[in-house]
A and B are shown apart, each in its own frame.
Chain A
Amino acid sequence: MAVWFLPLLIVGTTILLSLPVGFYLAWIVDGRYRAPGWLRWLERRLDTGVQNWKQYALSLLLFNTLMFAFGFIVLAAQSSAPLNPDGKGMLAPTTIFNTVSSFLTNTNLQHYSGEVHLSYWSQIAFVVWNMFVSAAVGFCVLAAMTRGLRGDEHMGNFYLDMWRVVVYVFLPTSFFGGVILMAAGVPMTFDKAIEAFTLEPGAMGKDDKGDPKRQLIARGPVAAVLPIKHFGTNGGGFFGANSAHPYENPNAWTNYFECVSILIFPFSLVVMFGRLLGQMRQAAVIYGVMLSLFVTMIVWAVHFDTQQPNPALKGLPVDQGEMGNLEGKELRFGTSAGATFSAVTTAVTCGSVNCMHDSLNPLAGLTPLTGMWLNCVFGGKGVGLVNLLVYLIVGVFLAGLMVGRTPEYLGKKVEAREMKLAMLALLIHPILILGPTGLFAALSWGTEATSNPGPHGFSQILYEFSSASANNGSGFEGLSDTWGFNDTKPEPYHTRAWDIATGLVMLLGRFIPIVAPLALAGSLAAKKRTPFTSGTLRTDTLTFGFVLLGTILLVGALLFMPAAVLGPVAEHLGPIPF
């Protein structure tokens, strides 16, 4: 029973907090706050006036293009920038492309190792900056889409939305979170890595001259990165070991705090959606569907990982006791913390990890994969709910026809144009996952880069593209996808192909599912509202909740079942070693 305590505590706390936070978010997004004079002066400078969906989308794309260029320059010029006490050089060009795409798209897929490859300047000017604004972009998209759905004449102003989210939401919460984490022992310093003498001389090996090496303990402005890494569902770790590293996640309580901070905004955004619409019941149905999927994901992962032995040790004289699969876990957090975290981080496309997903029992590995495939179980900040709305439109369309009316959502008729956009948004995700996975699985690009052959290796490829397309950023690991600095050492297995392919997948998987729903909302906003009658399909009932759940599960299952069978299921059913 004890294994269920942590997930219960995390989910319970988040649900309780999501109500007030959601109301606060709605209050901010609707601009009903009264900021101090100098902030208002700044706001007025940013506000370029109300925008329709095209202008909004254009501003968003323009902003992201500038960010891309800025990020590329910061990373490429790392060696000549300040705050580089350890003298880090320049990353390989494809790695820079991959990393810039990754942080721009809120993915935080890391084909580098934070403490080894990035200077403090890059961590602050590139990582932290991107974490704030890329998270805010998703937030803005949802705000704009909600305005369209509720029938506003315009979608708001992108720059103003961005300002509001960063300044009134992320900055205060991140400051608060940073203080808490520092209190728990997370370092915050610009000093270089510590050179420590080990008790046993030569424990770290010897250098060329035969002298014992000293241990290098990496540190840095970690507490500045951490809060927004979670609040913004970014997930890019300061250290390569991410939230399993003791400086990123010192103890069980910080682990709990980090889980809640990953979940809080995705949960609250659903509340905000209902509040902005003025129809809390609509949001309640969506919240219920998401929550039931989320709880299923956690239960599945904990059941198949924490409550089942590691099949690789079966038959060996090892007593696995009641602890389940311990491979790749940080036991400081508790036995079920790894499995729980894997569900949390993939449901909301955070991508930070506190255990090795590669080491999860095969079936438990389905939980993170499913989270990324559906990509709407609360989902990434803003975009998760946007994805769910796309599923919802598809559900509304089928259910609406079944009650004998032209389908409607929130009083707006869903017709050919809307369906075209919804299907485009729905289509892009499986294409970006299955296409490249197939390509890499059949070529040496995939087979030679994986650390395992067979279904497990297949899962590694599948996971990488799922993570990229869902803008999640976590890794199954086991892929040789890290090149490192731009030196002349021979290329690790096909790293370039991985850098470029996942970089492109991240960019396409980010912006098409953002622009298409914006257009959809714009198209709905322009329509006349039809009055509600007893012949209208209600989208705020339990029945419709089942329609929505059914649509998500059925479409999700149909798209990804063959891949799931070839990866985790085949590994689970097949004989060891596999």
Chain B
Amino acid sequence: MYQPMTPPSADAPADLKSSRRLSRRKGLFAPDLLKTALVQSFVMLRPDIQWKNPVMFVVEIGTVLSILYTVAKAFGYPSEASLGYLIALDVWLFLTVLFANFASALAEARGKAQADALRKTRQETPAYRLFKREDAQHVLNEFDGSSDERVEETASTQLREGDCVVIRAGQTIPGDGEIVAGVASVDESAITGESAPVIREAGGDRSGVTGGTRVLSDGIVVEITARPGKSFLDRMIALVEGAIRQRTPNEIALSLVLAAFTLIFLIVTAALWPMARHTELYMQTHLGKEVRSLGTDIPTLIALLVCLIPTTIGALLAAIGIAGMDRALRANILAKSGKAVEVAGDVDTLLLDKTGTITMGNRRATRFVPLGELSAADVGALASLASAADQTPEGKSIVELHRRMEDAAPLGVLPAGARFIEFTAQTRMSGIDLPDGRVIRKGAADAVARHVQQRDGTLPPRLQEQVDGVASQGATPLLVCEGNRIAGLVVLEDILKPGISERFERLRRMGLRTVMVTGDNPLTAKHIAAQAGVDDYIAQATPEAKLAYIRQEQQGGKLVAMMGDGTNDAPALAQADVGVAMNSGTQAAKEAGNMVDLDSDPTKLIEVVEIGKQLLMTRGALTTFSIANDLAKYFAIVPALFASTLPWLKAIDVMHLHSANSAILSAVIFNAIVIPLLIPIALKGVKYRPVGADVLLRRNLLIWGLGGVIVPFIGIKLIDVVLSVFA
């Protein structure tokens, strides 16, 4: 009924993929990004744009004032400062604003590059809309792309919510939606960058499809769930471009603090003018001649103000926020808002699915336990025979285990005429009937025991004890019997992912509680939880149980992150503070969560948390650095301000700077160039180490606090040395 698999055509999607990969690999200062950012940083000088960043707006106003003053000086306005010095000040003040704009513009340009790559997937494509939804199955079976009275051809942009479209192999899915009929392999590389196709089918937890991806084989009918322009991709593009980037709560709080510091330093500097005037007047009467100092020179005071207000962090704040989103995207996580990324840093509890996150996909046979006179190898051979045709992962693992046993005889070729007995929910056994009359079965303990008893066999005396023993260790016991004789046990166990308990240890040091979610019975769950080192578990988890658990954690003030894919996960995803939906999941799950993981990798939660923490840390570190810098600037500028009125203040010029003019210029230049120097850190983020808050604080305090105090002393001195050479 399906068309034969057609090989994926090698045109657009491959290009998209490579272009997207390229954009992700791009260095921090790729030439085309630099060019865009450079142009943009001039555009952002417009007061109405600059106004959005109060710190830099103050610098811009100051620069304008300073330039006006310089012009006045050029036309003869009397001033203590020389024209060359004033022009140099103007240039560097202007550069300060420009550098700040450049930092934001560069971050935005990087976002835009990502967005462009995404946008390419959003071209207008033809869509085949069904008139009646009920026709879905018939159309799917019969539609061959030619005209059909039940289908109309339209464009993807014309689709509305609730429309049903049919998509055949080789066609692009016209919009976000949910599969209502059919199954198909889909190439999602345009979005995920992952080239292996994925299976999407109606019903179940893998029914969601994203517009712009491509059906490779078979066909599906999709119900569109997003209006054009409101699709997942559209929202992503807007978000990445920063067009609707809303400031996050922490960012707002920090902006407030920065604005307040700006105001404080505005007052400190403004009050300095009359104070300096007081000194001038006194020295005038004392010395009996006119004395002027830089302390009453407006451009110099503006320079002092610009040096004191937190320009470093003020310039980089926007870039840090955009870069945070960008980092999430690089990790193949699409966050619906910047806030979601930020909240991830605060998460206290992680809900992790057992399967795929903590353990390898499925249970595997680990041991054969003989229960009679047989050896373990014999039990293995029987179990292996019984599983020879079993295609389930468990069955395969039995064969695999037996093959690896040293003393086991190779199974050889199965005799012709052997009959395989499939597993059914009723018998709960599978096995093989050999042509020589041997009947071998393996299966759930009680089912096999009944099977043996029906054939008048006897059960070994300690059977129940053995079975319970295995089960209590979190493993699943399978009984193997031959004829009416119990041969032994196969122990199936969950295999933990390598390094998973170290990973949980790391999370614990970060202050996160991990909770394993599993459908297993409590006994098994408890055992695996202990083995993996998670802090808690939810056994026999139902969607309601998950939701209840999240609510209970939140009641205690905790923030919860979880990952889910199914429609029944949607309420829990919505309830969780950070809900990461897998891209393979249903549309409902994707709508409910506030992030989507394109890789559908269950361990991604950990990465999400780290990105969130890194975002906050970068802001904190650069703010501390910015404020700590001020101390050295004072030591440079204050003696220089009063060099001509209170020359003995030279004693507090610990850097022994060349002259008053070079001291002030050095401070301003240092203040300006530190911005571009820190752009890489703003974009990459301060490195996060999972070492606990105390160690992290000590580390960052030393680097950014103490470093912030010391570095400018060295920097300003160096700049001064260079300036004095030119002078």
Q: Which residues of A are in contact with B by a Cβ distance under 8 Å?
A: 394, 397-406, 411, 414-416, 418-420, 423-424, 426-427, 430-431, 434-435, 437-439, 441-442, 446-447, 453-455, 457-458, 528-531, 533-538, 541, 543-544, 546-547, 550, 554, 557-559, 561-563, 565-566, 569-570, 573-575
Q: Is A562 in contact with B268, judged by CB distance below 8 angstroms?
A: yes
* Cβ-neighbour of B257 out of A397, A538, A559, A565 (below 8 A): A397
* Cβ-neighbour of B256 out of A420, A430, A530, A543 (below 8 A): A420
Q: Is A529 in contact with B557, judged by CB distance below 8 angstroms?
A: yes
Q: Is A401 in contact with B257, judged by CB distance below 8 angstroms?
A: no
Q: Is B631 in contact with A401, judged by CB distance below 8 angstroms?
A: no
With A533-B348, A543-B701 given, name 12 new contacts (CB 8 A).
Answer: A394-B257, A401-B254, A404-B688, A419-B253, A420-B260, A442-B274, A529-B557, A530-B558, A534-B510, A535-B348, A569-B652, A573-B652
Residues on A with C-beta less than 8 A from B612 are 404
Q: A442-B277, A570-B646, A573-B651 are in contact. Are A537 and B697 (CB under 8 A)?
A: yes
How many of B's residues come within 8 Å of A, CB to CB?
A: 77
Q: Is B513 in contact with A406, judged by CB distance below 8 angstroms?
A: no
Q: Is B513 in contact with A447, judged by CB distance below 8 angstroms?
A: no
- What are 13 pairs between A and B in contact, CB < 8 Å? A404-B616, A419-B253, A427-B264, A434-B267, A533-B511, A534-B510, A535-B348, A535-B692, A543-B698, A547-B701, A550-B701, A565-B642, A575-B648
Q: Is B631 in contact with A559, judged by CB distance below 8 angstroms?
A: no
Q: Which of B122-130, B281-289, B352-360 contacts A (4 or more CB under 8 A)?
A: B281-289
Q: Is A438 in contact with B275, judged by CB distance below 8 angstroms?
A: yes
* Cβ-neighbour of A405 out of B268, B613, B646 (below 8 A): B613
Measured CA separation A439–B348 after assembly (Å)? 52
The 4 closest A-B pairs by CB, nearest first: A535-B511, A401-B620, A404-B613, A442-B274
Q: Is B696 in contact with A531, judged by CB distance below 8 angstroms?
A: no
> Nearest-CB distance from A381 to chain B (Å)?
26
Q: Does B143 have its Cβ within 8 Å of any Cβ on chain A? A: no
Q: Is A403 in contact with B508, judged by CB distance below 8 angstroms?
A: no
Name which of A397, A404, A535, A547 has the most chain B CB atoms within 10 A of its CB.
Answer: A404
Majority SS at the chain B contact face: helix
Name which of B268, B272, B648 has the most chain A CB atoms within 10 A of its CB.
Answer: B268
Q: Is A404 in contact with B630, judged by CB distance below 8 angstroms?
A: no
Residues on A with C-beta less than 8 A from B72 are none
Residues on B with C-beta less than 8 A from A533 are 348, 511-513
Q: Does B249 have its Cβ within 8 Å of any Cβ on chain A? A: yes
Measured CA separation A438–B701 after assembly (Å)? 35
* Cβ-neighbour of B557 out of A406, A453, A528, A574 (below 8 A): A528
Q: Is B260 in contact with A403, judged by CB distance below 8 angstroms?
A: no
Q: Is B620 in contact with A399, judged by CB distance below 8 angstroms?
A: yes
Measured CA separation A550–B559 after assembly (Å)? 31
Chain A residue at smallest Cβ distance from B277: A442
| CB interface residues, B 467-523, toward A, < 8 Å | 508-513
Q: Does B39 have its Cβ within 8 Å of any Cβ on chain A? A: no
Q: A401-B619, A565-B649 are in contact. Are A534 and B634 (CB under 8 A)?
A: no
Residues on B with C-beta less than 8 A from A453 are 282, 285-286
* Cβ-neighbour of A558 out of B285, B631, B641, B649 (below 8 A): B631
Chain B residue at smallest Cβ distance from A454: B282
Measured CA separation A570–B646 after assembly (Å)? 7
> Nearest-CB distance from A54 to chain B (Å)?
22
| CB interface residues, B 252-276, toward A, < 8 Å | 252-254, 256-257, 260-261, 263-265, 267-268, 270-276
* Cβ-neighbour of A534 out of B616, B624, B693 (below 8 A): B693
* Cβ-neighbour of B279 out of A405, A458, A543 (below 8 A): A458
Residues on B with C-beta less than 8 A from A457 are 282
Measured CA separation A442–B281 after assembly (Å)? 9
> Nearest-CB distance from B416 to chain A (Å)?
64
> Nearest-CB distance from B683 to chain A (Å)?
17
> Nearest-CB distance from A114 to chain B (Å)?
32
Residues on A with C-beta less than 8 A from B620 are 398-404
Residues on B with C-beta less than 8 A from A458 are 275, 278-279
Q: Is B638 in contact with A435, judged by CB distance below 8 angstroms?
A: no
* Cβ-neighbour of A401 out of B278, B616, B627 (below 8 A): B616
Residues on A with C-beta less than 8 A from B652 are 565, 569, 573
Name which of B264, B558, B559, B652 has the most chain A CB atoms within 10 A of its CB.
Answer: B264
| CB interface residues, B 611-666, toward A, < 8 Å | 612-614, 616-617, 619-621, 623-624, 627-628, 630-631, 634, 638, 641-642, 646, 648-649, 651-652
Residues on B with C-beta less than 8 A from A534 are 508-511, 692-693
Residues on B with C-beta less than 8 A from A565 are 638, 642, 649, 652
* Cβ-neighbour of A530 out of B249, B342, B348, B614 (below 8 A): B348
Measured CA separation A426–B260 after assembly (Å)? 9
Q: Kindly supply a per-residue 1/0 record for chain B positions 680-695, scoring 1 wherever the CB is within 8 Å of any chain A CB and 0 otherwise.
A: 0000000010001110
Measured CA separation A543–B696 after assembly (Å)? 11
Residues on B with C-beta less than 8 A from A544 are 697
Residues on A with C-beta less than 8 A from B559 are 530
Residues on B with C-beta less than 8 A from A554 are 627-628, 630-631
> Nearest-CB distance from B341 to chain A (Å)?
12
Q: Does B84 have its Cβ within 8 Å of any Cβ on chain A? A: no
* Cβ-neighbour of B694 out of A418, A435, A438, A543 (below 8 A): A543
Q: Is B277 in contact with A547, judged by CB distance below 8 angstroms?
A: no
Measured CA separation A179–B170 after assembly (Å)? 101
Measured CA separation A557–B557 after assembly (Å)? 38
> Nearest-CB distance from B613 to chain A (Å)?
3
Chain A residue at smallest Cβ distance from B556: A531
Name which of B271, B281, B348, B614 has the most chain A CB atoms within 10 A of its CB.
Answer: B271
Residues on B with C-beta less than 8 A from A562 are 268, 272, 275, 634, 638, 641
Chain B residue at smallest Cβ distance from A532: B511
Q: Is B697 in contact with A438, judged by CB distance below 8 angstroms?
A: no
Q: Is B705 in contact with A403, judged by CB distance below 8 angstroms?
A: no
Chain B residue at smallest Cβ distance from A560: B268
Residues on A with C-beta less than 8 A from B540 are none
* Cβ-neighbour of A437 out of B271, B281, B614 (below 8 A): B271
> Nearest-CB distance from A546 to chain B (Å)?
7
> Nearest-CB distance from A4 to chain B (Å)?
28
Q: Does B345 have its Cβ within 8 Å of any Cβ on chain A? A: yes
Q: Is A558 in contact with B249, judged by CB distance below 8 angstroms?
A: no
Chain B residue at smallest Cβ distance from A414: B253
Measured CA separation A120–B345 after assembly (Å)? 64
Q: Is A435 in contact with B271, judged by CB distance below 8 angstroms?
A: yes
Q: A415-B253, A531-B558 are in contact. Are A438 and B264 (CB under 8 A)?
A: no
Q: Does B250 have its Cβ within 8 Å of any Cβ on chain A? A: yes
Q: Is A435 in contact with B267, judged by CB distance below 8 angstroms?
A: yes
Residues on B with C-beta less than 8 A from A563 are 271, 275
Measured CA separation A430–B273 after assembly (Å)? 15
* Cβ-neighbour of A538 out of B253, B346, B558, B694 (below 8 A): B694
> Nearest-CB distance from B612 to chain A (Å)?
7
Q: Does B216 have its Cβ within 8 Å of any Cβ on chain A? A: no
Measured CA separation A420–B256 after assembly (Å)? 6
Measured CA separation A558–B268 after assembly (Å)? 9
Residues on A with C-beta less than 8 A from B697 are 399, 402-403, 537, 543-544, 547
* Cβ-neighbour of B278 out of A399, A414, A441, A531 (below 8 A): A441
Residues on B with C-beta less than 8 A from A394 are 257
Residues on A with C-beta less than 8 A from B510 are 534-535
Q: Is A550 in contact with B705, judged by CB distance below 8 angstroms?
A: yes
Measured CA separation A528–B348 after assembly (Å)? 14
Q: Is B271 in contact with A434, judged by CB distance below 8 angstroms?
A: yes
Residues on B with C-beta less than 8 A from A439 are 274
> Nearest-CB distance from A318 to chain B (Å)?
24
> Nearest-CB distance from A80 to chain B (Å)?
43
Residues on B with C-beta less than 8 A from A418 are 253
Measured CA separation A457–B286 after assembly (Å)? 14
> Nearest-CB distance from A444 to chain B (Å)?
11
Q: Is B616 in contact with A574, judged by CB distance below 8 angstroms?
A: no
Q: Does B672 have its Cβ within 8 Å of any Cβ on chain A? A: no
Chain A residue at smallest Cβ distance from B261: A423
Residues on A with C-beta less than 8 A from B630 are 554, 558
Residues on A with C-beta less than 8 A from B113 are none
